[in-house]
């Protein structure tokens, strides 16, 4: 048997809807995010998981609570630490920063974390999972790590996708 991940990006936040970089800031879900979590709960009803996890940031843990009643928090499932970019908008970043972030691999947020550091902590978490289906409430950057560069595209808030490790 293999490890299969059901990956949920947390529901919408005011910062996300305003196009702000949202890494380790603990911004709550907005009304839309709470509705998205409820819809996820309907979609996940009746599913069985070996474990249910979430980032320790409240936008992810609240999505888990509203969708399935809760999850075990783990800091390793946090989004990339955007450092000095935290709360800024795309258009406020230099062209060099935008291009580096789009490339993703090799990116380091000024005053924050590198994608390599994000990858290391996320894969360390995954390496501890036993065979079976695991439900993770997390963030876009974490989902990008799990699905790999060949499947890179945006991850809308409140969405679910599955990957096998």
Estimate to the nearest angstrom the gap between the alpha carbon of 31 and the chain centroid.
Answer: 19
Residue-wise pLDDT for 31-81, tens only, equals 999 999 999 999 999 999 999 999 999 999 999 999 999 999 999 999 999
The C-alpha R_g of the chain, in whole angstroms, comes to: 15
Verify whether residue 139 is a known catalytic residue. Answer: no
Verify whether residue 79 is a known catalytic residue. Answer: yes
Q: Which two tokens stand for residue 24?
A: 């380790």
Catalytic residue of the set 79, 113, 134, 139: 79
Considering only CA atoms, which of 18, 17, 21, 12 is closest in space to residue 86?
21
DSSP symbol at 45: T
Catalytic residue of the set 10, 113, 134, 139: 10
Query: Is the predicted pLDDT of residue 155 greater than 70, yes or no?
Result: yes
Query: Is the predicted pLDDT of residue 1 greater than 80, yes or no?
Result: no
Q: How many residues does the chain have?
A: 165
């Amino acid at each position: 048997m293999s490890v299969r991940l059901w990956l949920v990006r947390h529901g919408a936040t005011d910062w996300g809807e305003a196009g702000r970089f949202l890494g380790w800031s603990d911004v709550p879900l907005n009304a839309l995010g709470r509705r998205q979590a409820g819809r996820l709960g309907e979609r996940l009803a009746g599913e069985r998981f070996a474990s249910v996890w979430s980032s320790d940031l409240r936008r992810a843990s609240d999505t888990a609570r509203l969708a399935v009643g809760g999850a075990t928090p783990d800091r390793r499932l946090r989004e990339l630490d955007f450092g000095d970019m935290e709360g800024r908008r795309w258009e406020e970043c230099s062209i060099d920063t935008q291009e580096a972030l789009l490339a993703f691999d090799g990116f380091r947020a000024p005053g924050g974390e590198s994608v390599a550091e994000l990858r290391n902590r996320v894969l360390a978490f995954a390496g501890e999972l036993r065979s079976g289906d695991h439900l993770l409430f997390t963030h876009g950057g974490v989902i990008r790590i799990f699905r790999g560069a060949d499947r890179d595209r945006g991850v809308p808030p409140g969405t679910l996708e599955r990957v096998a490790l």
